[in-house]
C-alpha cells in the first residue's frame, strides 16, 4: 500500500512543469503569476491530502488547467452580488436597503474618478469643511440651524450622546429602549458614550411628569427614541416632542430625538402611512434630531444630525467625529439624493425607494399575470404555479405594522414536501443573479413589488 501511495505522489506534476502548460500560461496572462502559483500550490496540497486519505488522485487531476480556471473564476466573483429582491421586504437590511437614484450613482462615479472639493474651499483656496455643502442643503430642507453627517445613524446617536451628555444622565422612556438589528441596543450606545441611562415611565405608558421627576443636577439630556421597528398598541401614552422640548427649555436641559428611518417628506401625500419628520420636531423646539440616510430617505448609508447650531458646532469638534465621518462617495451620493427633494413633484419617478413603495397593486398584478404562463409551463412538472395577492412590508425598521398591497407568483410542491420548495429556493439563490423569495404557508412566494423588468427575471431563471 505504501508503495502505491508513493507512486501516486510521484504522479503529481511540479509547479514549474504546470506553469509551462499552454492552458495555464494563458491564465497567467489574465490573472497574474502570483495568484496562479498560489492556487496551484493549494491544489497540490489538496491532491496530497486526497492520496493520504483515499489512496487516489482527485477527480480533477487529469486536467489541472480546467480546474485552475474554475478556481480563478470563483476568486474573481464579487462578494457583493446583485440579486432580485422578491422577498416582500422593500428596504431589506441584508440586501443593502435603499437603491440609489441614477443621479446619486453618477455623483459617486464622478467622486471616484476625479479629485473633488471634499475639504477644499474654491473661494479662499484653503481647507474647507466636508459637511458644509450638505449641511446647507439639509437646513433648507428641514429648517434646521445646522447639520452634521456621519457614517450611520447609530454613529449619529453615539456622537450626540458623547458630545452633549457624557458623564451625565440621559432620561428616556422605558417604552423607547429599542434594539435594532444585530442586537444593537440604545442602552449599550449610552454606555459607550459615557452616559448613564435613567429609565422613566412604564413599557406602555410614559407621562411628562415622569421626565420632570427624573431631572436633577446631573441630568445631561432628555431623549425620545422613535420606535420605528416595533409598535406598542392598546393602553398607551407617550410624551410628545413638543412637550419634551418645552420641558427641556424650562429646565435648561438639551433635548434629542432619534428618528431612525427618518423621512423628510409627508409620506401620506403619496398614499403611504404617516412617518414622523425631523422638521416637525425641530419646529417644536427639539435641539437635535438624528436619522438614517439609507432608509426612507432613499440615499446611501449615513447618519444625519440636524438641530441647533451651538450643539452641531460642539459635535463637529468632538474627537469622535473624525472617526465616524462619512467619506467622499457617501457625501456625493447623499447630496445628489437630497437634491431630488428640491423637486418633490418628480420624486416618485426619480427616487427608487419611493417609486417602489408607491407602485399600484394593479401594475404589479399585470406583471405577475404576464410571467405566469411561462412559469407554469417551465415548472409544471414539480410545482403548481399561481399568481396571488399578497402584502409587502417596508422593512429596515420603518413602519413595522403597515403593509403594502402587492402581487406574487407562488410555487407549491406537487409532492407536498417542504424540502422540494427549499431545494428550489436554494437553486434560485445560486443563479448567476440570485433570486431571493420567501417561504411561507407551504409555498415559495416571489413578491414582484421590487421587480421592474419581468423579462430580466425570466432570463435569470432560465440560466
Let me know if residue 195 belongs to a domain. yes
Provide mean pLDDT across the span 170-177: 89
Same domain, 220 and 334: yes
Please identify, among 313, 345, 377, the residue that sits at the C-terminal boundary of a domain: 345
419-461 pLDDT, tens digit each:
999 999 999 999 989 999 999 999 999 999 999 999 999 999 8
In the predicted model, is pLDDT for residue 229 greater than 80?
no
How much is the pLDDT for 402? 76
Q: Which of 404, 392, 401, 405 is nearest to 227 (CA)?
A: 401
Full domain range(s) for residue 222? 102-345
Residues 313 and 275 placed together within one structural domain of the fold? yes
* Closest by Cα among 372, 407, 373 to 389: 407
**Statement to judge: residues 312 and 404 lie in one domain:** no
Please give the tally of structural domains in the chain.
Answer: 3
Beta bridge partners of 306: 147, 289
Q: How far apart are CA 24 and CA 36, in angstroms?
A: 8
Nearest to 172, CA basis, from 201, 195, 193, 192: 201
* 351: in domain: no
Angle 64-76/22-31 helices, nearest 10 degrees? 10
Pick from 89, 172, 93: which is nearest to 445 by CA?
89
* Mean per-residue pLDDT, 319-346: 96
Q: Does 258 lie in the same domain as 151?
A: yes
In a domain, 68, yes or no: yes
pLDDT at 172: 93
Q: What is the CATH number of the domain that holds 453?
A: 3.90.1150.180
- Residue 132 CA to residue 53 CA, distance in Å, equals 64
- pLDDT computed for residue 397 by the predictor: 59
Comparing 11-20, 169-178, 358-367, the range with the smallest average pLDDT is 169-178
- How many beta carbons lie within 10 A of that of residue 183, not counting itself? 7
How large is the average pLDDT for residues 237-257?
Answer: 94
Mean per-residue pLDDT, 40-63: 93
Is 192 in the same domain as 336?
yes
Q: Do residue 324 and residue 386 come from a single domain? A: no
Same domain, 190 and 304: yes
What is the distance, to the nearest Å, from the Cα of residue 16 to the centroid of all Cα atoms in its chain?
47
The rounded percent of the chain whose pLDDT value lies above 90 is 77
Q: Let me know whether 234 and 298 are in one domain.
A: yes
Co-location of 34 and 108 in the same domain: no
Q: How far is CA 94 from CA 86, 90, 390, 436, in A?
A: 13, 11, 21, 11
Residue 321 belongs to some domain of the structure = yes
> Do residues 365 and 424 both lie within one domain?
yes
Residue 440 lies in a domain: yes
Mean pLDDT over residues 293-309, rounded?
96
Q: Once rounded to an integer, what is the mean pLDDT over residues 307-315?
A: 97
- Contacts of 46-54 with CB under 8 Å at 24 or more apart are 47/12, 48/9, 48/12, 51/5, 51/8, 51/9, 52/5
Q: Would the pLDDT of 398 be above 70?
A: no
Confirm whether 350 is domain-assigned.
Answer: no
Q: What is the pLDDT of residue 92?
A: 93
Grid coordinates representing 384 are 403548481
Does residue 463 register a pLDDT over 80? no
Whether 110 shows a pLDDT value over 90: the answer reads yes
Average model confidence (pLDDT) across the chain: 91
Q: Tell me the mean pLDDT in the region 392-396.
A: 85
Confidence (pLDDT) at 175: 85
Q: What is the arithmetic mean of pLDDT over 91-106?
A: 95
Q: Do 89 and 71 fall into the same domain?
A: no
User: What strand order describes the sheet that includes 398-413?
Assistant: 383-395, 398-413, 443-447, 438-440
> Would you place residue 1 in the very low, low, confident or very high pLDDT band (cuts 50, 70, 90)?
very low
Q: CA 198, CA 136: separation in Å to the nearest integer?
A: 35
Model pTM score: 0.88
Angle between helices 153-164 and 309-316 (to 10 degrees): 100
pLDDT tier for residue 78 given thresholds of 50, 70 and 90: confident
Q: Which of 345, 371, 390 is the last residue of a domain?
A: 345
CATH assignment of the domain containing 204: 3.40.640.10
- Given this model, what pLDDT does residue 400 score? 60
C-alpha cell of residue 422? 427549499
Q: Is residue 201 assigned to a domain?
A: yes
Asked whether residue 63 falls in the same domain as residue 106, the answer is no
Amino acid at each position: 500500500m505504501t508503495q502505491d501511495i508513493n507512486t501516486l505522489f510521484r504522479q503529481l506534476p511540479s509547479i514549474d512543469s504546470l506553469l509551462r502548460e499552454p492552458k495555464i500560461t494563458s491564465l497567467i496572462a489574465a490573472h497574474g503569476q502570483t495568484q496562479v502559483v498560489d492556487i496551484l500550490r493549494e491544489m497540490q496540497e489538496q491532491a496530497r491530502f486526497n492520496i493520504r486519505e483515499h489512496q487516489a488522485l482527485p477527480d480533477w487531476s487529469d486536467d489541472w488547467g480546467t480546474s485552475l480556471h474554475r478556481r480563478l473564476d470563483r476568486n474573481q466573483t464579487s462578494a457583493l452580488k446583485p440579486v432580485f429582491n422578491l422577498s416582500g421586504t422593500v428596504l431589506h437590511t441584508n440586501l443593502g436597503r435603499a437603491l440609489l437614484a441614477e443621479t446619486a450613482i453618477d455623483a459617486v462615479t464622478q467622486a471616484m474618478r476625479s479629485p473633488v472639493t471634499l475639504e477644499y474651499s474654491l473661494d479662499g483656496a484653503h481647507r474647507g469643511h466636508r459637511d458644509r455643502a450638505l449641511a446647507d442643503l439639509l437646513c433648507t430642507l428641514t429648517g434646521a440651524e445646522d447639520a452634521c453627517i456621519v457614517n450611520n445613524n447609530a454613529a449619529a446617536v453615539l456622537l450626540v450622546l458623547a458630545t452633549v451628555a457624557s458623564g451625565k444622565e440621559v432620561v428616556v422612556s422605558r417604552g423607547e429602549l429599542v434594539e435594532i438589528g444585530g442586537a444593537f441596543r440604545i442602552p449599550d450606545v449610552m454606555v459607550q458614550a459615557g452616559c448613564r441611562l435613567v429609565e422613566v415611565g412604564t413599557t406602555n405608558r410614559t407621562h411628562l411628569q415622569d421626565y420632570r421627576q427624573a431631572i436633577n443636577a446631573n441630568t445631561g439630556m432628555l431623549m425620545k427614541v422613535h420606535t420605528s421597528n416595533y409598535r406598542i398598541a392598546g393602553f398607551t401614552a407617550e410624551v410628545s416632542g413638543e412637550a419634551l422640548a418645552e420641558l427641556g427649555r424650562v429646565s435648561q436641559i438639551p433635548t434629542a430625538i432619534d428618528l431612525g428611518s427618518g423621512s423628510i417628506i409627508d409620506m401620506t401625500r403619496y398614499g403611504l402611512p404617516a412617518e414622523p419628520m425631523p422638521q416637525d420636531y425641530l419646529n417644536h423646539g427639539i435641539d437635535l434630531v438624528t436619522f438614517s440616510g439609507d432608509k426612507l430617505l432613499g440615499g446611501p448609508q449615513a447618519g444625519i444630525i440636524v438641530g441647533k447650531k451651538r450643539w452641531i458646532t460642539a459635535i463637529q469638534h468632538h474627537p469622535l467625529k473624525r472617526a465616524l465621518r462619512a467619506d467622499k462617495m457617501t457625501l456625493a451620493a447623499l447630496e445628489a439624493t437630497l437634491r431630488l427633494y428640491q423637486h418633490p413633484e418628480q420624486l416618485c419617478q426619480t427616487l427608487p425607494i419611493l417609486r417602489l413603495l408607491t407602485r399600484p397593486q394593479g401594475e404589479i398584478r399585470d406583471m405577475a399575470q404576464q410571467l405566469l404562463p411561462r412559469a407554469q409551463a417551465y415548472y409544471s412538472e414539480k410545482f403548481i404555479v399561481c399568481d396571488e395577492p399578497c402584502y409587502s412590508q417596508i422593512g429596515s425598521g420603518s413602519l413595522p405594522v403597515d403593509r403594502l398591497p402587492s402581487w406574487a407568483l407562488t410555487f407549491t410542491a406537487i409532492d407536498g414536501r417542504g424540502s422540494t420548495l427549499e431545494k428550489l429556493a436554494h437553486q434560485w439563490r445560486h443563479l448567476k443573479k440570485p433570486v431571493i423569495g420567501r417561504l411561507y404557508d407551504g409555498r415559495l412566494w416571489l413578491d414582484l413589488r421590487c421587480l421592474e423588468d419581468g423579462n430580466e427575471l425570466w432570463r435569470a431563471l432560465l440560466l
